[in-house]
């Protein structure tokens, strides 16, 4: 860690009175922010707080409506990402911008100027990899890499441009604990060498581990600049959302009943060229419990969700049973009629139709049940359901019955989760329930899933967020390369053990759980 010493010169970058207006919406409202040379500075806030807008202004993607950016004390204008990179700004986005069919070296080369030959990229890649411990095989195709390896490509691509400020957006969202700790070591070293880092994350414990200062936004304004080490994660979350964020209540009696979902020797071939095959999946979820499934992205989670939801039919009907009925050959609506509900990972475009209203979006899952009669859609009933979801799950919307795309990510996620829970299903399967949502929305969603289980439903949560799974799950398994480990009580796992399973590394001895 870089020592706490007072700065001897001007900040590397300073934002003064930055505002951005979109019509009547003030996304950024006179924001002040400074980052010192070599500082790891956190930018925090709930969804819709203005973080993305501010970072896009800094990186030259959008132009501010008012305010000034200073670089080493001098006013500057950053008109494009190209200008940002020429100054020494690099950015690693939350969603990777890589070409699956190209090699590691080719993916790095396409982001650099024409002066870089492929052989030069390979040489520099090896040098950077050795210096920072970011091991990469230059000739491997990206589609064969883990999420952690893909993130290394993004970081190395930035480092080859000698950044003076590196912006990281939710960098550990798809990493195992071991990969995350490796990343922290790399960031510490970059900081010691003088590279400044702007760190955006909803994982407050890692912010407390890495950062000496944190700027907190709420409703487009700076509400505090703090030393995160001097506050608890709960106190920081309260600043972000404007009120206290409590723990998930899991103390209600946990008495699992009969099997609601049974998966028996489920195997499926990949749906696409780079999909993951499922191999002999066995899983039981009982009424009254939350079953967690951990794994690094791309190890079969999407394929498993598609098989369980009926988006893809199993080769053998007996592979899946819902409430005692063989369901492997049933479609989604037939499974819903058995009392099942499903929430896919991608909320906009998969869980919700972007250009359709919220009431129309209730039809996606409710048309098979209560908002249709004799083949006719009952729109008044759909509107009542939508209003109940909005009120019951604190979905903050524009006036009326807005299109799904008009909601922030966190509010849309609350809506699609609420749309399923309000049916009181006997079984719900949720893929990445709190992906990219803030602390307040995450707590509401997790509590709703736990409460549903305690009321007697079976809940299956597929998640890359280990903190989430340890918070809500009663039993947990790990999926790796299409194979599911045995389910074990949550108390028999540690994060380190789960991380090793996620990487496909068997524990050599002792372990936190029996084999």
Share of the chain above pLDDT 70, in %: 92
Comparison of pLDDT for 8 and 316, the residue scoring more: 316
Provide the pLDDT for residue 369: 64
Half-sphere exposure of 47 (CA within 13 A, CB side): 19
Range list of H helices, 88-146? 104-109, 118-132
- pLDDT surpasses 50 at 414: yes
- Per-residue pLDDT of 291-310, as tens digits, reads 999 988 788 999 999 999 99
- pLDDT surpasses 70 at 48: yes
- Per-residue pLDDT of 349-383, as tens digits, reads 899 999 999 999 998 888 766 776 777 777 888 89
Provide the pLDDT for residue 94: 67
pTM: 0.75
Look at 87-91, 95-99, 139-143, 401-405 and tell me which has the smallest mean pLDDT: 95-99
Residue with tokens 């019955």: 401
Provide the pLDDT for residue 511: 41
- Per-residue pLDDT of 433-482, as tens digits, reads 988 777 778 888 999 999 999 999 999 999 988 889 999 999 999 999 99
Share of the chain above pLDDT 90, in %: 51
- pLDDT surpasses 80 at 244: no
Interatomic CA distance for residues 98 and 106, integer angstroms: 10
Contact (CB, 8 A) for 427 and 341: yes
DSSP state of 348: B
Q: Which long-range contacts (CB under 8 A, 24 or more apart) does 130-138 make?
A: 132/159, 132/186, 132/189, 132/190, 133/182, 133/185, 133/186, 134/186, 136/104, 137/104, 138/103, 138/104, 138/105
Provide the pLDDT for residue 33: 96
Provide the pLDDT for residue 4: 59
Domains of the chain: 13-88+163-241 (3.40.50.300), 259-503 (3.40.50.300)
Under the banding of pLDDT at 50, 70 and 90, the label for residue 409 is confident
Provide the pLDDT for residue 368: 61
User: Average pLDDT for residues 258-266, to the nearest whole number?
Assistant: 96
């Amino acid at each position: 860690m870089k020592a706490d010493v007072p700065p001897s010169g001007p900040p590397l970058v300073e934002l003064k009175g930055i505002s951005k207006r979109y019509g009547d919406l003030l996304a950024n409202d006179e924001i002040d922010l400074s980052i010192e040379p070599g500082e790891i500075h956190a930018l925090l806030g709930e969804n819709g707080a203005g973080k993305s807008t501010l970072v896009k202004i800094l990186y030259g993607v959008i132009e501010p409506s008012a305010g000034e950016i200073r670089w080493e004390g001098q006013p500057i204008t950053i008109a494009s990402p190209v200008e940002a990179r020429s100054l020494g700004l690099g950015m690693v986005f939350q969603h990777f911008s890589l070409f699956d069919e190209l090699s590691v070296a080719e993916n790095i080369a396409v982001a650099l100027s024409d002066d870089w030959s492929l052989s030069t990229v390979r040489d520099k890649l090896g040098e950077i990899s050795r210096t920072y411990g970011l091991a990469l095989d230059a000739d491997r195709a990206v589609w064969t890499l883990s999420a952690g390896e893909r993130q290394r490509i993004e970081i190395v691509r930035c480092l080859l441009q000698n950044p003076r400020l590196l912006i990281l957006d939710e960098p550990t969202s798809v990493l195992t604990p071991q990969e995350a700790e490796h990343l922290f070591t790399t960031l510490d070293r970059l900081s010691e060498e003088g590279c400044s880092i702007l760190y955006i994350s909803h994982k407050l414990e890692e912010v407390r581990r890495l950062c000496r200062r944190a700027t907190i936004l709420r409703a487009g304004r700076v509400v505090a600049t703090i030393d995160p080490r001097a506050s608890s994660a709960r106190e920081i979350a309260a600043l972000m959302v404007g009120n206290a964020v409590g723990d998930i209540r899991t103390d209600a009696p946990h008495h699992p009943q009969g099997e609601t979902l049974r998966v028996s020797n489920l195997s499926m071939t990949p749906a696409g060229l780079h999909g993951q095959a499922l191999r002999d999946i066995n899983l039981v979820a009982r009424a009254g419990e939350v079953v967690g499934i951990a794994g690094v992205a791309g190890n079969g989670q999407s394929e498993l969700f598609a098989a369980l939801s009926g988006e893809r039919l199993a080769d053998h009907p007996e592979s899946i049973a819902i409430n005692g009925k063989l369901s492997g050959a049933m479609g989604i609506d037939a499974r819903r009629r058995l009392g099942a509900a499903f929430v896919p990972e991608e909320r906009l475009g998969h869980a919700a139709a972007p250009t359709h209203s919220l009431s129309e979006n209730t039809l996606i899952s409710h048309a098979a049940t209560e908002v249709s009669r004799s083949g006719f859609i009952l729109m008044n009933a759909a509107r009542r359901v939508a209003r109940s979801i909005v009120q019951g799950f604190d979905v903050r919307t524009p006036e009326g019955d807005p299109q799904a795309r008009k909601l922030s990510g966190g509010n849309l996620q609350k809506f699609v989760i609420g749309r399923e829970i309000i049916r009181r299903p006997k079984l719900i399967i949720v893929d990445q329930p709190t992906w990219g949502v803030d602390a307040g929305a995450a707590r509401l969603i997790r509590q709703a899933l736990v409460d549903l289980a305690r009321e007697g439903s079976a809940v299956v949560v597929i998640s890359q967020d280990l903190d989430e799974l340890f918070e809500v799950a009663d039993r947990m398994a790990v999926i790796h390369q299409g194979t599911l480990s045995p389910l074990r009580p949550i108390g028999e796992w540690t994060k380190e053990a789960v991380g090793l399973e996620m990487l496909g590394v068997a524990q050599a001895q002792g372990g936190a759980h029996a084999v």
